Structure 1
Amino acid sequence: MTEPTVVIAGAGLAGASVATELREHGFGGRILLLGMEEHRPYIRPPLSKEFLKGDAPLEGAAVHPDDWYAENAVEFVPGVEAGSFEADAHELFITEDGGRITYDSLVIATGARARPLGVPGSGHGAVFPLRTQEDSVRLRDALKVGGRRVVVIGSGWIGMEVAAAARGYGNEVTVVGHSAVPLSGAIGRELGGVFERLHRDNGVEFRNDAVVVGVDGGTQQYVVLATGERIPADVVVAGVGASPNSLVAERSGVAVADGVLTDKGMRTSIEDVYAVGDVANPFLPAIGRHLRSEHWANAIASGKVAAHAILGERASYDDIPYFYSDQYDLGMEYSGYVPLTVGARVVFRGDVEAREFIAFWLRNDRVVAGMNVNVWDVQDDIQRLIRSAERVDADQLADQDLDLAAL
């Protein structure tokens, strides 16, 4: 009997996690890992954190050592873009040469694409995206010169991390965001303000509630706002988010809505086809709805779930979304369901002004998310409270004299 073939379209962390989990759990068939980039799978957080700041080498971002793929019979094929697939024939079509690959199981792990600025002048050489290793190397080279005027467009996590890295190299930094407060879409205005004050204390300027209408080039670059203000810039960073790269699914008739829709086992609407990582929008039983996440922990968790589903085992996405950020002397971890935090009550434990605290989001007296800032070894307790879905006393949550593990 011929061994089954699993084709993974996308060689990021999510795709690599599928391959790893399959091999570690006894899958003996063929695994093809197709990557658009020439690099073997790597994780993206260091691109805006440790590597960008100069604290770690790029090699540390690799998911596995280079020889792991041959040792585990995972066929890594670089520079390949999947175009579409034929479900009945179980064939994946390659865009470059029109070739086709037959599969028994197909995993869509095509990730996300950086959103373009989409304004006049955004293609200027002074405008830097940040998605790939090459992007991060190019941006770091520009920042480490120091003494430059850096304008970061976008006040989400990537934008704020880039701003911190740029200040670390001694650059002047202005962050331009469309929201009234940075990070408000992720953690709300009150906590977004904590991060804004952190950056202001470190010399960053902000233009909030701002709309960028262009980037003027020539010998001197300016970021042009709708108000008419022209912000001089030597380096412009486009940190305006990412969009799921779901073209393969769309061309092939897979159900798509803010990414590729999947069930709790990462199965798409087409049999034997799965989706994982940034491109997937899985159903999460814990909250009874679909939720797409672009963080590295999701790439690992969804890849593992898909692998077990391919192996014919019961598989369910039960991990709580998690991410972290490091900016200046502030480190944070966040676990929880962002959509459930909208309108939720925020309860603080610790000293917010000193930036040493835990924030809990309560909906109907149940913890739906938690963020620890410069407080460590509490994630297990935070996730336990979220997972239990039990009512908690807000005063007890806030009381530092009470052991969090006992709540």
Structure 2
Amino acid sequence: MRHRIAAVLLGITAASSCALFAQQTQTVGPLPQRDVFVVGPDTSVGDPLRDFKPTRVEYTQDPMDIGGKRELVRMLLMEQGFAHRSLPLGAPGLVLHANGRLTVDNDSLKKRMFKDGMSAAAGDRIMVTDINILGDRIDIDINGGPYLSHRFLRHISINDVPLAGDGVMGERPTGTRITLLFEGKTPRVSAAEVKALLEPLLDFGLKTSEQAYADTLPDPIRNAILEHEVLVGMNRRMVLASLGQPDSKLRERAAESSDGEVFEEWIYGKTPQSIRFVRFRGDRVVLMKLAALGKPIEVHDKEELAGYRDPALTHEVSLGDAKAGSEETESKPKGPSLRLPSERPADQTAPTPAKPKADKVAVNDAPHLQ
């Protein structure tokens, strides 16, 4: 009897569970499916050539000469700007026709950047690190160029262990190359014209606050900042406008100082490149050392600004009261009074007339003094 009752209860429970599941299925409907986002060449990188407009720059057709090459390298090398659009990483770079379009289409460029990466995204700061002027083109390396720099330590190994990477694993180039291609021979273009021709890809016209500040300085200081030099006597803002943020900073006590003065030193560059050590005392540069590979260390510790001081940091302070008879006292308004203009206060007396000075007489001409 007990077994029959248990079997009946079990059947009722199973039937109610099936009915409840069927009711939920009918009311709720199909289960929602989650969206899946797959990263691929079409989704990882946007359209790098969107709104690409060729330039219309007029330039001379005279062939490039030695003087033009030197001027172009001097004015463009180490020049800083911003990327208008994403730039691919590594070789072969980009080929831009002068006043024309790129030789690569949008889809191919997206696949390259998805595979190799980007050297600079849109809006990132870039730097011209090398310029090579050829017969019909100008090769401009950005952020170190598309190829890994050569290191002789890669050819040396100890116990089959290389002293440096082999350039295949763990080491990759950091930049790209933009080739400006001309029809025929390379003309004698100026640095401003090259910047205008590169405008669809790069922008050299935007100014930071430091660059705008440099335009307000005298010509010798502004020229030094444009050539990325540091002069003894510059303040921190001038150094930032010239070299940007330092790679590292150091604060120590000067060994030659008797009172233990703390100085701050900014370090620019890393070996094997040239390294600059800029020492500040307060807000001014008091020492600059330049250490170049294979050359003696250059030390600059003499004032190089000819006593120039930033007018914004110069204030004139006058101590004491204004001098009698000065414009300040004469222009000061007098308080109200009931006295007539001819009357004087009780504490003031009429000025006594000055005694007439006796004429000087020679001793020989005064008989009473003989």
Q: Same fold (TM over 0.5)?
A: no
Q: TM-score w.r.t. structure 2 length?
A: 0.24
Greater strand proportion: 1
Q: TM-score w.r.t. structure 1 length?
A: 0.22
Q: Larger radius of gyration, structure 1 or 2?
A: 2
